[in-house]
Amino acid sequence: MCHRAGAMICTGKKVFMPSTTSLPDLFLAIRRGQLSPPAAVDQALVPVTEAAAYAVQDAVARHLGPIEGWKVGASGPDAEPACAPIHAATIFRDGGTVPAGTCRHLGVEAEIGYRFARALPPRATPWTREDVLGAIGTAHPVIEILDTRFDQPGSQHRLLHAADHQSHGALIVGPGTTAWRTLDPVHEPVVLRIDGRVVKDHTGGNSAGDPLRMLVWLANHASRRGIGIGTGCLVTTGSTTGTIFVPHGTDVTASFPAMGQVSTHLA
């Protein structure tokens, strides 16, 4: 445990004292391999509000390349959603391999994603549900991989993990269907296979309930942040299977009858 005030960072038995005390610089140094992922950080680095956590996301995102997606989720059907941008470097095609160096931890989740055929840029007036649904082009089966810039997943204050791009590691996107309006995402069956073995087979499973309400929330949230949702942007809407941590060298397939399946090899 860290006892000294300031920005001391503990990484197991090693203690690092970086030249900067900002959380964005810490995350960037870890991503670049300049620091080892810490087991804990000083309390002074913990965001005190959701807005502060999103400000950290924005500061880090400016160094990570183009934003081509978002992740959004919620703990319950009436709970306030949370989100993070997803960058081009961590998005992979169906059947592709996620390189070994992309993630340290591999938390597998099967999800439903929506690709926007029309942009929803920042604007002064709120985007309505009709606006948002009218901008969707296709729905996709996706696999999200959860990772962390800390030593262990889920080990920190929730706002630290929120600031860390909501623990995003990678996103694998399957083929899209334009018949997305016929989907019933709350009751859509899902089968998740790990190395060919079925580990999840059930209906629904997303704690947020209807993912479409989260898309409306995200459109207005991203607008207020001055980012918006770009044309071609893929928004993934939360786990339907929970998170299953697997070792490197694993094959993963997620199947949704109404959309098809998506597969990846985690090198």
Task: List the CATH number of the domain containing 188.
Answer: 3.90.850.10
Residues 97 and 199 in one domain: yes
The residue range of the domain holding 40 is 1-45
What's the confidence (pLDDT) of residue 20? 52
Q: Is the pTM of this model over 0.85?
A: yes
Residues 21 and 79 in one domain: no
Residues 130 and 216 in one domain: yes
Residues 125 and 182 in one domain: yes
Calculate helix-pair angle for 50-61, 23-31, nearest 10 degrees.
Answer: 40
| Averages of pLDDT over each 10 residues, the chain, 267 residues | 37 43 94 95 95 98 98 97 98 98 98 98 98 98 98 97 98 98 96 98 96 97 98 98 98 97 98
The domain total for the chain is: 2
Say how far apart CA 224 and CA 220 lie, in whole Å. 6
| Residue 78 Cα distances to 74, 158, 199, 208, 213, angstroms | 8, 19, 28, 8, 10
For 75-122, the pLDDT digits (tens) are: 999 999 999 999 999 999 999 999 999 999 999 999 999 999 999 999
Q: Which two tokens stand for residue 47?
A: 């965001």
Residues 15 and 65 in one domain: no
Residues 224 and 167 in one domain: yes
Residues 26 and 114 in one domain: no
